[in-house]
Structures are given as C-alpha cells and as structure tokens.
Structure 1
C-alpha cells in the first residue's frame, strides 16, 4: 500500500485499533481517541498501516519521516529492476548464408544484453506458397545460435504474410 493511501490521525474513523508504538511493541487493542491522545502526547502521528485487519493496525510514527522512507524504498526497488525490451530482426526466405550469419550475430548480441528477440520472415508474392523455406531459415537460425544462449518462447508461427518466432535469453542462475 502506498504511503498516500494511508489514513492518519483524525481520518481514522473506527471505534478501536490495534496499537503499535514507535519502538515496534504492541500496546494491544485500544479505543481510537485514546490512541490519538497518546500520539499527540508523544508528538507523533497515528498512522493506519493495515486497514484490512480486524481491528485495523495503527502505528505511532512521524508520518513525514515514514512517507520519506517508503518513497526511498520504492526508488531503490525501481533501480534494481531491469526493463526487458523486445528487439525484432527481419529477414526474407531467400536470405544468403552470409547475411543469415550476420543477422544471427545480432540476435546473439541482443540475447546477451538480456532482451527478447522476435525473428520475423516476410513473405512477398509467390513466396507465400513456400512457407516451409521460411521455417527452414528460422530453424537454421536456432541451429546457428546453439542451445545454451536462449530459450524459444514461441516456435515458428505464421501470421498473415509473416512467420515469426520469439526467443528469450536463458537466465544466468
């Protein structure tokens, strides 16, 4: 729950709350007005940290400091996340072996960066009658990549005039 969704002080409208003091010790179930009085006496805020509990759990804390700490934690967790991008490599069924090797090298680089790769083959005109040639090209790409670099998310699939497959990098665990 985000810090801005929490109810504090007079916004808490229940009869009694389970109170936790600033040291983290439980003070038991007390009437809300008594908990508010304790908060004012200590110069702190009464913050509802678990509104769905029965009775709701409230803490005696400095709300500004609490809000700052939770935002800091959120920023840290966002830093640790890695965005996975989807890269696309397009080819034609009549691709030359050198071009295929070159594109395979690019696919390998994308996978090493941790990105997913969509390998697409575009069929034009009469090429649509021979989709097996496109499937062979995609299988040759898989063969050139080797097994340890990737996992196949979606096997070669036709969609309109395109045949594609999705590859994702193998996790480094």
Structure 2
C-alpha cells in the first residue's frame, strides 16, 4: 500500500481536475452558496466564469469548493506571509557574566552592556559561576544579583528571579516597553 506524507505543514489545495470527489458543496466567487452538485458541474460552472474551482475544506462532508481566481489568491497569500515575516522580531538572549567579587568599575561596565542589549530589544541573562569554596557563599551571589537587578530596574523587568542551578546562579531580564523607558528618561 502506497502512502504519501507531506513534509511541511503547508499542503497545496486541490483545484480543477485534481478534485476527484463525486459531490461537492460549491461557494461562488462572491461568497454566495450555490449548493451541492457534482464536481463535473461545478468545474463547468467555474470554467464559464473563467475562474478556478478550489477545494477549501476537504474534510467536510461533502467537501467545500470555491470558485475563485487561484493565481490571485496565491499572490495575496504570499503577500500576507511576506508582510508577517517582515514584521516579526526575533528576540535574542544576551548573557552577562558577573562574578562573586566583582569590582565597582567592572560592575558598571557590565551594567552598561546590559543596558545596550535591552535598548536593542534583546533579553539579558545575568549569571554567576561559583568556583571551589565560593559555593559556601551563595548568599553573596544573591546580593550581587539583587544589586544588578536594582540598577537595571529602570530599563528592565525581572523575568526570572535569581536561582541557583548547580554551580551557577542565573537571572533573566526582559526589556521594558519603549513608552515606559521614555517616560522615565523624561523625568
């Protein structure tokens, strides 16, 4: 027995002679119901109007077919997909590595990097890696993370509180909406 599986989620619509169903429910080009008829009659009706017969709901009983200009329909679909791709924004996660005994200037440099990442719209992952005896002083790591979060509070919200996982502590920051950042800068 031969089976065909579509690899992508998109399946092509059946049109004109590809429709093999005995009876189909036909919808006209201006969305009016034309009723249930044989696929041969529906195809003849579409040919009279110089349009295509497209099966839009193959799982319905009987399948629903629409009379439309398939080329124009595909063009509109591609245009919508292109517009959707253009408007989407991929959010990256940038990592800032802090240390348990970080100095003031190093801390300020890390804060400035994080501010830049947040202004670009990316999320920030702040992490501290504990080495050796530092595991006995995880509370100092929490203090560094709290200080970092406090300084970053006007640019970001804490998406995930500092959490110790194995030998590293991580915290996630998400950028504030642009309106809130502008309001804080004006004050």
Say if 2:51 is the partner of 1:15: no
For 2:60 and 2:157, the matched residues in 1 are separated by 43
User: Which residue number in structure 2 is paired with residue 158 of structure 1?
Assistant: 164
5+ residue gaps, structure 1, are: none
User: Which residue number in structure 2 is paired with residue 55 of structure 1?
Assistant: 62
5+ residue gaps, structure 2, are: 1-8, 180-187
Partner of residue 167 from structure 1, selected from 167, 170, 173? 173
Structure-to-structure mapping, 1:1-173, within 5 angstroms: 2=10, 4-146=11-153, 148-172=154-178
How far residue 70 of structure 1 moved from its aligned partner, in angstroms, is: 0.7
CA 137–6 in structure 1, closer or farther in 2 if over 3 Å, else same: same
What is the DSSP-based 3-state SS (H/G/I as helix, E as strand, rest coil) of the residue aligned with 2:24? strand
User: Which residue number in structure 1 is paired with residue 3 of structure 2?
Assistant: none
Q: TM-score, normalised by structure 2?
A: 0.82
What is the DSSP-based 3-state SS (H/G/I as helix, E as strand, rest coil) of the residue aligned with 1:5? coil
How far residue 114 of structure 1 moved from its aligned partner, in angstroms, is: 1.3
List structure 1 segments (4+ residues) > 4 angstroms apart after TM superposition.
none
Structure of higher RCO (CA pairs closer than 8 Å, 6+ residues apart): 1
Q: TM-score, normalised by structure 1?
A: 0.88
How far residue 123 of structure 1 moved from its aligned partner, in angstroms, is: 1.4
